[in-house]
Chain A
Amino acid sequence: AQKVTQAQTEISVVEKEDVTLDCVYETRDTTYYLFWYKQPPSGELVFLIRRNSFDEQNEISGRYSWNFQKSTSSFNFTITASQVVDSAVYFCALSVPYNTDKLIFGTGTRLQVFP
């Protein structure tokens, strides 16, 4: 069975702090995809990144970076120099396309960035 765990339910930081959101996944399949989504207070779900199981290179996009480690089944998300606009709920998700097109979502981490 597949599962995604986001153990941090809520994180509060002050602007300009760095923050890491944890994501741990479970799957027995060797081919899978991992995703991060952002849900700001306005409510829409915004796709941030996709990673496949064969590519363990870390990725950086501006202030965002992602650390994928198969050895620990983790796909963590770091925001550098956080800003108030980063306040949102962030979801990690897993897809095992061999079986299904479904995304298995974690329960989300609410990030609050205070000025």
Chain B
Amino acid sequence: DAGVIQSPRHEVTEMGQEVTLRCKPISGHNSLFWYRQTMMRGLELLIYFNNNVPIDDSGMPEDRFSAKMPNASFSTLKIQPSEPRDSAVYFCASSPGQGRYEQYFGPGTRLTVT
């Protein structure tokens, strides 16, 4: 079975540009999570969705960040405009629900903003 798929795996962009990260969760999972990992701040939850509905976006740093989940098999995290401090590894994870709360992580997108 395919795991969580993220694209792109690496992204290098200039400050001020729009960046869109994509995620395809594991089929049948009903929760999706976006995380950011940096050396300084560790692993931070940005937002999560349950049945495609955003449940908690309290971790989204500021209005420059937005996330959508238009259907059960696709989600995007957008940063507009990007800044150097957004450089990090962004992970998407999905969870089966129905009594199973473990999250399965994608390989991550390494974002570098110059």
Contact = CB atoms under 8 A, between A and B. Distances in A.
Contacts, number: 49
Interface residues of A, number: 19
Interface in A83-115: 91, 95, 97, 100-103, 105, 107-108
Interface in B75-98: 89, 91, 93, 95, 97
Interface stretch (B15-23, B41-49, B61-69): B41-49
A100 B102 contact: no
A44 B108 contact: yes
Interface residues of B, number: 24
Given A103-B103, A105-B43, A107-B42, A43 B48 contact: no
B42 A97 contact: no
Contacts of A43: 89, 107-108, 110
Interface of B: 31, 33, 42-43, 45, 48, 50, 55-56, 89, 91, 93, 95, 97, 100-108, 110
Given A47-B104, A103-B101, A108-B43, 11 more contacts: A33-B101, A43-B108, A45-B105, A47-B103, A47-B105, A50-B101, A91-B43, A97-B101, A100-B55, A101-B33, A101-B97
6 contacts: A45-B93, A46-B105, A101-B33, A101-B50, A101-B101, A107-B42
